Amino acid sequence: MDNLVMKMRAHGVDFFYGKNHALKNINLNVAVNKVTAIIGPSGCGKSTFIRLLNRMNEMVPNTTLTGKIYLDCLDILSPCIDPADVRRRVGMVFQKPNPFPKNIFENISYGLEVNGIKNKQLIEERVVTSLKRSAIWEEVKDRLHDSALRLSGGQQQRLCIARCLAIQPEVLLFDEPCASLDPISTRKIEELILELKKDYTIVIVTHNMQQAARISDYTGFFLLGDMIEFDKTDKIFKAPSDSRTEDYITGRFG
Amino acid sequence: MQRHFDEDLAKLKTDILSMAALVDASILDAVEALKDLDASRARQVIASDRRIDEMELMIEEHSLSLLAQQQPMANDLRFITMAMNITTDLERMADLAVDIAQRVLEMSDKPLLKPLIDIPQLATVAQTMIKDVIEAFVNRDEALARKVILFDSQADQLRNAVQRELINDYMIKDPQTVSRAVPLLLIARHLERICDHATNIAEDVIYMVGAEVVKHHPERLQGKAEE
């Protein structure tokens, strides 16, 4: 990958839900300050894969994971690493916006307080910066104490991104962040992702191939737990190497 | 999975073939008109260009609609964008046939300067290249497309031969011949340009089939041809 610095590396990763072999020998590198998209049909293991990148998979009982995942040089699967530390450095935004049933300000400050930040001024600064960085500040600055649940879906999703940014992560994982949003809100999130990649490393799972084509630098195509192809996004969408990738992205699949 | 989109792509292909057939006929007529200095056949060539222009617009519009509606990827994307390029080249080939027809009209009231030898050969090269490149497009035949491109040097050689002969043996020796030599010189140029457009189409076919860019990279072509 053109001498890029790798922020995360998955090496020989296998994952099982009980006996179901959900991911098979995945080797995937995530380049720093790039957007890496994971595409593939439902059940291909793409969401499972990004959940491994911040150890979210450990929330699911009866699973087995083998292989290595590195964040910089850190072996994040090592038993002496606290998953909470990994999740602070690798944040996640989900398919459905999931703001806390609190006001807008508290949605962001809560995570900071949980992480032991007590300084009110620092918290306020972080809240404002995060809201600005996630391109929602202008829409909420006059109603920071309104319930977050009164925001539109697209605004809620950007608030969730702000909540993630407040913890100052290095990697952002997006699991189909626009699946429940209208086209305008989707465009806003896409613009935001392109803006955020200047400072963060981003991995996005998406069902929307045009979205992957628009915003990602690298794309991996997953099918039935295998990574079939990984390449520059431009290459994948103009001239994929594997006929299964071709069939999927041209809608001939199945 | 069967896609309705495939019917649209098939229609696009058929339309390009129909357009190519008209262009091919137009070039053939222009060359025949030249051999016989047949003014009425030359006028037919000029008149038939309108239909080809209309087809170009129709194919371009259909391609743009498909890009907008389907947001095609991979193979489909390459096919539609190359279809647009190919259509442009076909239309320019037809314009060159019109140019030849106009030269024929300019010459039709005087006897030919000399018996035509290299120009008909050049016309044959052009027609072979067109026939082959269309076949390469239809059958997605990358090897045939490469052959077409390599064939182009013959067209260049014949054009140069015509040029040398007309300038050295006629125009310089007897300036009275210039007015009858220039149209022939131009016709050789028009035919050679037709071959260049066939080459462009061949390059597009290679990209369409295997996503390899050979345009402006003759060394890639040579490498493959030697293998």
pLDDT in tens, B108-148: 888 888 888 899 999 999 999 999 999 999 999 999 999 99
In the stretch 213-232 of chain A, residues with CB closer than 8 A to chain B read 213
More confident residue, A112 or A252: A112
Q: How far apart are the C-alpha atoms of B131 and B34, rounded to whole Å?
A: 20
Six token digits for residue B125: 């090269």
Reply yes or no on whether the pLDDT at B217 is more than 90.
Answer: no
Q: Please give the Cα distance from A65 to A16 (Å, whole number).
A: 7
The answer, yes or no, to whether residue B227 has pLDDT greater than 60, is no
Query: Which residues span the domain enclosing B85?
Result: 4-226
Contact A237 B76 (CB under 8 A): no
Subunit contact A238:B71, Cβ cutoff 8 A: no
Residue of A nearest to B78 (CA): A238
Rounded Cα–Cα distance for residues B52 and B221 (Å): 31
**Looking at residue A254, what is its pLDDT?**
59
pLDDT attached to residue A148: 96
> Does any CB of chain B come closer than 8 Å to the CB of residue A198?
no
Which tokens is A185 given? 């809100």
Going by pLDDT thresholds of 50, 70 and 90, the confidence category of residue B226 is: very low
Which tokens belong to B196?
A: 């260049």
Is a pLDDT exceeding 80 seen at residue A253?
no
A200 interface with B at CB cutoff 8 Å = no
% of chain A with per-residue pLDDT over 90: 95
Q: Show residues of chain B in contact with A228, CB under 8 Å.
A: none
Number of domains forming the structure of chain B = 1
Checking phi first, is residue A204 left (phi over 0); if not, alpha (psi -120 to 50) or beta? beta
pLDDT at B225: 47
- Best of B73, B82, B142, B209 to disrupt the A interface (most A CBs within 10 Å) is B73
Digit-coded pLDDT (tens) for A104-121? 999 999 999 998 999 999
**Burial classification of residue B109, based on how many CB atoms lie within 10 Å of its CB (0-12 exposed, 13-18 middle, 19 or more buried):** exposed
Region A77-90: mean pLDDT is 95
Distance from CA of A234 to the nearest CA of B (A): 10
Distance from CA of A237 to the nearest CA of B (A): 5
Cβ atoms B180, B110 nearer than 8 A: yes
For the stretch A36-71, pLDDT in tens is 999 999 999 999 999 999 999 998 999 999 999 999
Q: How would you class A204 by CB atoms within 10 Å of its CB: exposed for 0-12, middle for 13-18, buried for 19 or more?
A: buried
SS3 B32: helix
> Does A239 touch chain B if contact means CB atoms closer than 8 Å?
yes
- The pTM (predicted TM-score) of the whole model is 0.86
- Which helix or strand (DSSP H or E) is residue B27 part of? helix B4-36
DSSP structure class, residue B175: G
Residue B174 is part of a domain; what is its CATH number? 1.20.58.220
Residue A228 has pLDDT above 70, yes or no: yes
Closest CA to A115 of A88, A148, A86: A88
Confidence of residue B2 (pLDDT cuts 50, 70, 90): confident
| B67 Cα to chain A: minimum distance (Å) | 12
Q: A210 and B71: CB-CB below 8 Å?
A: yes
Encoded tokens for A152: 């539109």
Out of B75, B210, B211, closest to residue A250 by CB: B75
Nearest-angstrom CA–CA distance, B195 and B189: 10
Residue in B1, B5, B78 closest to A239 by CB: B78
The reported pLDDT for the residue numbered B155 is 95
- Facing B74 at nearest CB: one of A237, A253, A254: A237
Greater pLDDT, B57 or A254:
B57
CB-CB neighbors (< 8 A) of B1 in chain A: 251-254
Tell me the average pLDDT across B183-194.
97
The answer on pLDDT for A2 being more than 90 is no
Q: How far is A238 from chain B (nearest CA, A)?
A: 4
CB–CB contact B73 A209 (8 Å): yes
CB contact under 8 A, A251 and B1: yes
| Chain A environment of B8 (Cβ under 8 Å) | none
Q: Is the pLDDT of residue B50 over 60?
A: yes
User: Which is more confident, A253 or B189?
Assistant: B189
| Number of C-beta neighbours around residue A65 at 10 A | 17
Cα(A110)–Cα(A101) distance, integer angstroms: 11
Q: Which of A210, A250, A253 sits opposite B74 (nearest CB)?
A: A250
**CB distance A250–B73 less than 8 Å?**
yes
Q: How high is the pLDDT of residue B109? A: 87
Indicate if the pLDDT at residue A34 is higher than 60.
yes
pLDDT interval class at A74 (50, 70, 90): very high
By Cβ distance, the residue of A210, A213, A254 closest to B1 is A254
Rounded to whole angstroms, what are the CA distances from B192 to A38, A97, A252, B19, B152?
49, 63, 42, 20, 8
Tokens of B80: 């539609």
Outline where A69-215 has alpha helix (H): 83-89, 104-114, 120-133, 137-140, 153-166, 183-196, 209-215
Pairwise CB contact (< 8 Å): A238 & B211:
yes
Which residues of chain B neighbour A245 with C-beta distances below 8 Å? 74
The predicted structure's pLDDT at residue B216: 87
Q: Which domains does chain A have, with CATH numbers?
A: 6-249 (3.40.50.300)
Which chain B residues are within 8 Å of A249, Cβ to Cβ?
73-74
Q: What is the mean pLDDT of chain A?
A: 95
Chain B residue at shortest CA distance from A250: B73
Tell whether the model's pLDDT for residue A1 goes beyond 80: no
